């Protein structure tokens, strides 16, 4: 990473950490910005930090993070291959869904994050991430697992891993979808082909 990009990241992260543009800033412990590579071709976007993420200041480090990690590892993804973040960067109290105004406010930071990471393939984890992107409420079983090209980005929606923690069967479609993501990145020449 060159000096210019490093400086831009520092400014972005400082801006995130000092943000008090919405009420979530009053109850957070840490601002949760990202995990993984800062220049990854693959970006995974969840809903919002939970308790563990708020304490550690990192996304997806609790139980659903562990599941996500296992699903990614099953397809040979390593930290250098992905950038993980959320629609909002601060934990909503009691883990409620983020409100529209909180999502809209935090989107400005997410847009800056996009401009820095420059992902090619995006995975939206769950309906909140889908709705924040596309504006309509999804029927998850209809939208999951298919790529949609928007402004040059390949975007796939899958179930949120927390859903699979409550309903074991749902691990299967998320696992299948991660396989499609690996295949897409391979086809685009953005990741090495896995040994068969
Ligand atoms: N769920 C999310 O959507 N994001 C996290 O970071 C953790 C749990």
pLDDT digits (tens, 9 = 90+) for 29-61: 999 999 999 999 999 999 999 999 999 999 999
- Best of 49, 106, 159 for a ligand 1 pocket test (most atoms within 8 Å of beta carbon): 49
Cα–Cα distance for residue pair 34/182, rounded to 1 Å:
20
Ligand 1 atom closest to the CA of 160, numbered from 1: 3
Domain assignments of the chain as residue spans, ordered by start: 3-187
Tally the C-alpha atoms within 13 A of residue 85's C-alpha that lie toward its C-beta: 25
- Best of 34, 56, 62, 123 for a ligand 1 pocket test (most atoms within 8 Å of beta carbon): 62
Please state whether the predicted TM-score (pTM) of the whole model is above 0.85.
yes
The string of pLDDT tens digits covering residues 78-116 is 999 999 999 999 999 999 999 999 999 999 999 999 999
- Distance from the CA of 133 to the center of ligand 1, in angstroms? 17
**What is the CATH class of 3-187?**
alpha beta
For position 194, what pLDDT does the model report?
84
Q: For the purposes of burial, counting CB atoms within 10 Å of the CB of 128, is it exposed (0-12), middle (13-18) or buried (19 or more)?
A: buried
Q: How confident is the model at residue 64 (pLDDT cuts 50, 70, 90)?
A: very high
């Amino acid at each position: 990473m060159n000096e210019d990009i490093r400086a831009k990241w520092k400014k972005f992260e400082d801006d995130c950490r000092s943000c008090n543009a919405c009420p979530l800033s009053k109850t957070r412990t840490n601002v949760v910005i990202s995990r993984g590579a800062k220049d990854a071709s693959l970006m995974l976007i969840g809903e919002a930090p939970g308790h563990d993420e708020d304490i550690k200041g990192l996304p997806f480090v609790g139980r659903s993070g562990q599941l996500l990690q296992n699903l990614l590892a099953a397809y040979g993804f390593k930290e250098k291959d992905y950038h993980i973040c959320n629609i909002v960067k601060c934990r909503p109290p009691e883990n409620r869904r983020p409100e529209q105004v909180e999502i809209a406010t935090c989107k400005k930071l997410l847009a800056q994050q996009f401009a820095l990471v420059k992902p090619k393939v995006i995975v939206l984890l769950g309906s909140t991430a889908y709705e924040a992107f596309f504006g309509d409420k999804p029927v998850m079983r209809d939208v999951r697992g298919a790529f949609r090209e928007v402004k040059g980005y390949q975007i796939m929606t899958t179930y949120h891993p927390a859903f699979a923690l409550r309903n074991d069967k749902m691990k299967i479609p998320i696992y299948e979808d991660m396989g499609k993501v690996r295949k897409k990145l391979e086809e685009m020449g953005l990741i090495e082909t896995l040994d068969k």
